[in-house]
Chains A and B, each alone.
Chain A
C-alpha cells in the first residue's frame, strides 16, 4: 500500500464521514437536551429529496444559485419534520422513540409519493446538472503546493477538493463544542437533558430550550441530506440515506455524546467503510489473526471482569473467539493467509458500538432525562 493509496482512502473517508458527522452532531444537540431522536434517517432522507427537487427545478432560472436554494429547501423540510417530532414528544409528551420511527416511515413514503407525482420517474429526481450540484472547492495555493513532497499531496488530494459542505461540517465540530460547553445557552441545554426540573426552577423554559435543540437538530440533518443528494450524488434516489442516520446514532453513542469525539467516531466509521470499498477482501497472515483473536479473548476475560456483565457471557464470547482461532489453525494453518471478507469490515462499526455499549471501553451514559417528557406539575 503506497502513500498515494493511503491518501485516496483518507480522501474517501472524509467524504463518507461528512454526512455521518452532520447527522451525529444533529443527534448530539437533540439528545443532550433530552430528546432522543431515531428519526435522523428520515430527516436526512426528506432533506435529500427536498434539496434535489428544488435544486433541479431552480437550475434553469437560478443558475449556480440553484444548489443553495436546494440546501435551504432541504433544511426547511428537515426542520419541519423536527418540529413534528417536537410537537409529539415535547408538547404532547408522547413516546420519543415511536415518534422517531413514525418520522422515518413518513419520510420514506412521502419522498417517493411526491417524487412520483412531480417527476414521474419512480420516486427519483432527474439528474442534476452543474448549477444544481455543489462544486468541489480548491483551497488557495493548491496548485503551487502540490509539488512539495509529503505535505503537497496531503494538502491537494486530501484537504482540498471537497465541496463546501465538508468544510462547513468540520467547522461545526469546534462550534458545537463551544456552544455546548462554553456558553450559557449550552449549559442550559445540557442541564435540560440531565435535570429539567432544576432548569425549570431557575425560571428557564424547558419547552423553549428543547424546541431550540430540536430545530438545531433539524438544521444539521438538513445539511447532511443536502450533502448526500447535491454534494455526493447528483439527484435523489429513493431510500438513498441507506441507514446512515442509524450509523450516526451508533457514532453518537460511541462518542459518548461529545462533539470532538463525534468527529473521531464518524471518521473511524468512514475509514472502515473506505477500506472495505477499496479492499473488498483483506488478506492477512493467519498468525496475525490468531494472535488478535487470542488477545481479544484474554482481554474480554480479564478486563471485562470489572464490568457488570455476567462472567458466563464473557466466557462464552471468549470461547467463540478461541473456537474461530482454532478453526483458522486447522483450516489454513499458522503459516497461511486467511481472508477477511468485506462484510466483516462493514460490520466492524456495529461490533465496536456493541463493545462500547457492553461497557468494555468506559461507559456510555446517555443524558439522564433522555427519553422522558417533562411534566411541570410533578
Chain B
C-alpha cells in the first residue's frame, strides 16, 4: 500500500513538473469577443504574432458572461499556464482576489492597475492618442462640430473623450464637441443599433466627424456615419478598412504590442505597472491606403509635430482619470 502511495506520489510529481516545464502562456479575452475588430482582436493579433514567431502555443478563453471571470482565471492558473494575460479593466477586482492564491503564476492585466506582487499592469495613455485624432477631426471638420460616442460610461472611456475634446479644441478653439455615452451597463459595448442612432443624432446636430470608442457598438457608429456621408474615427485596432474612404483614421492602442511583450517575457514579468504612451509607440493614429486620400500630407505633418511636442513635454494632455474632471468637456 505504502509502495503504491509513493508510486502515485512520484507519478503526480512527475506530471506536475512536466506541466511546469511546458508552462505555456494564456490569454483571456473580455466580453467583446476575440474578433471584435477592436480591442480584443488587437490582443489576439499580438498573441498570434508571438506564436508564429516562436512556434509556441498559447491557451485562450473568451468570456461569455461576467460570472466566468474568476472561474476562467483560476482554471488557467491551476492548469499551470504562465503568464496569464487578460484584456480589460473589468478583470481588476477579480484579479485582486485571485492573484494572492497563485503566487507562482505571473498575471498581466491590460488597461487596469492591480497592486499585487505577481501582477504586471499595462496601461495606455489613451488621452494622448485621442488628443491626436481629436486634432485631426477638428482640422478636417467643415462644420466645426465633431462627435464622440463612448461605450459604457466608465472613467477609462471618459479619458478617451477628454483627450479627444482637448485635441479638437487645440486645433480650433471654436470647435463644438458633442459627446454621448451608449449606456451604463456592459450591454453598451454591443449595441450597434443605439450606436447608429446616436451617430444620426450627432450628425443632425452638425457633427461631420464622429469618434467611436465603444467596442461592438462602434460598428454601428462607423456604418451610420458612412451611410450619412460623414467621417468616422475607429478605435483600438486599425478600423480604416471597415469603410474605405469613410473612416478618417483610427486611434491605435497597441494592445498587440503589450500582449506580444508579455508573452515574450514569459515567466520573467517585471511586476508593477508599465505605461505604453506616444513615446513608446503604445498609442497613435493609423494611416494606410484606405484613408490616404482623407488625410493630406500637410495635416499629417502637423499632427506628427503635435505628437512630438507631447513626447517632448511641451504639450500636456490632461488625463481624466488623474482627477476625474475634464477641462475641455463636461459630462
Contacts and interface: CB of A to CB of B under 8 A. Distances in A.
A and B are partners in one complex rather than unrelated chains:
yes
Interface string A16-40: 1001000000000000000000000
A243 B190 CA distance: 11
A232 B196 CA distance: 8
Interface string A260-278: 0000000000000110011
Interface centre among B32, B37, B219, by most A CB within 10 Å?
Answer: B219
Given A120-B35, A122-B35, A122-B36, A237 B190 contact: yes
A127 interface: yes
Interface in A123-161: 123-124, 127
A56 to B, nearest CB: 14
A240 B35 contact: no
A128 to B, nearest CB: 9
B219 A277 contact: no
B296 to A, nearest CB: 27
Interface stretch (B2-10, B176-184, B284-292): B176-184
Given A234-B223, A278-B201, A280-B180, A228 B193 contact: yes
Interface in B4-47: 32-37, 40-41
Taking residues whose C-beta sits less than 8 angstroms from the other chain, chain A's interface range is 20 to 34
Nearest to A234: B223
Interface string A229-255: 000111101111011000000000000
A237 B192 contact: yes
Contact of B219 (A15, A232, A235): A235
Contacts of A348: none
A122 B45 CA distance: 13
Contact of B220 (A12, A233, A274): A233
B125 to A, nearest CB: 26
B216 interface: yes
A123 B194 CA distance: 19
B64 to A, nearest CB: 8
Contacts of A112: 33, 64
Contacts of A240: 190-193, 216
Contact of A233 (B37, B192, B205): B192
B197 A237 contact: no
A343 B41 contact: no
A127 B223 contact: yes
A8 interface: yes
A121 B32 CA distance: 11
Contact of B187 (A15, A243, A278): A243
A306 to B, nearest CB: 36
B204 interface: yes
Taking residues whose C-beta sits less than 8 angstroms from the other chain, chain B's interface range is 20 to 34
A108 to B, nearest CB: 9
Nearest to B219: A237
Interface in B307-331: 331
Contacts of A239: 187, 190
B242 interface: yes
Given A12-B201, A277-B180, A238 B216 contact: yes
Nearest to B35: A122
A343 B219 CA distance: 23
Given A240-B191, A242-B191, A122 B242 contact: no
Contacts of B36: 122, 124
B186 to A, nearest CB: 9
B203 to A, nearest CB: 10
Contacts of B204: 5, 8
A278 B207 CA distance: 12
A127 B201 contact: no
Interface string A334-358: 0000000011001000000000000
A124 B201 contact: no
A274 B201 CA distance: 8
B212 to A, nearest CB: 13
Interface centre among A109, A120, A277, by most B CB within 10 Å?
Answer: A277
A121 B193 contact: no
B49 interface: no
B193 A242 contact: yes
B198 interface: yes
Contact of A124 (B180, B181, B200, B219): B219
Nearest to B223: A234
Contacts of A234: 223
Contacts of B181: 280, 342
B180 to A, nearest CB: 6
B33 A8 contact: no
Contacts of A342: 181
Contact of A8 (B40, B193, B201): B201
Contacts of A124: 33, 35-37, 216, 219
Contacts of A121: 35, 37
Given A8-B204, A278-B201, A280-B179, A122 B34 contact: yes
B219 A16 contact: no
Nearest to B185: A243
Given A120-B35, A122-B34, A240-B190, A277 B197 contact: yes
Given A237-B190, A238-B190, A240-B190, A277 B216 contact: no
Contact of B197 (A15, A235, A243): A15
Interface in A78-100: none
Contacts of A233: 192-193, 196, 219-220, 223
Contacts of A274: 197, 201
Contacts of A232: 193, 196-197
Interface string A172-188: 00000000000000000
Contacts of B180: 277, 280
B217 to A, nearest CB: 8
B36 to A, nearest CB: 6
9 contacts: A109-B64, A120-B35, A121-B37, A123-B33, A237-B219, A238-B216, A240-B193, A242-B193, A277-B198
Given A124-B33, A237-B217, A242-B191, 11 more contacts: A12-B201, A109-B64, A112-B33, A127-B223, A228-B193, A233-B220, A233-B223, A235-B219, A238-B33, A242-B190, A277-B180
Interface of A: 5, 8, 12, 15-16, 19, 109, 112, 120-124, 127, 228, 232-235, 237-240, 242-243, 273-274, 277-278, 280-281, 342-343, 346
Closest 8 CB pairs of A and B: A122-B35, A122-B33, A242-B191, A233-B192, A239-B190, A237-B216, A8-B204, A277-B201
